[in-house]
Structure 1
Amino acid sequence: MLKSKIAYWIDKRGLRSDFVAGELNVSQAQVSKWKKGKAHPRVEKLFKLARLLNVKVDDLYEEIDHIDTTEKEDF
């Protein structure tokens, strides 16, 4: 499973969502969804975003190694 680090990099670079939206030709609402992990950029936007943030595409996501899938027993 992947976790978005888009919000981290946008904030780290000191960029405002409206600036990012304008540079990528998307709405501010779309950038907000990306930052909250509610949506993911399409591939072409992902590459442009990485370029804008001066990071590798791989830096925009991190792998989550463990997902707890055990069921809890009711007592």
Structure 2
Amino acid sequence: MYDNFRQLLAVKGITPYKVSKETGISQVTLSDWKHGRSKPKVDKLVKIAKFLNVPLEKLL
């Protein structure tokens, strides 16, 4: 999931920091996903998909 997220950020020129600020998902949570310490819950994925204006499937 995080690889898809990272690719979408690169294409759109958005930083994880901005995603965190705009969605309310903490940077620690994003880091945990990146390092495999936790997996994202559906509600957070929906927030990110809406923020990035992409279908949820693009993150999965």
TM-score by length of 1: 0.63
Highest RCO, 1 vs 2 (Cα 8 Å, sep ≥ 6): 1
Unaligned runs of 5+ in 1: 62-75
Q: Kindly name which structure, 1 or 2, has the bigger radius of gyration based on alpha carbons.
A: 1
Q: State the one-letter code of the partner of 1:30.
A: T
- Per mean C-alpha deviation after superposition, the further-off stretch among 48-57 and 20-29 is 20-29
Percentage of matched positions with identical amino acids: 32
Q: Number of residues paired by the alignment?
A: 57
Bigger helix fraction: 2
- Cα RMSD over matched residues? 1.6
TM-score by length of 2: 0.75
Unaligned runs of 5+ in 2: none
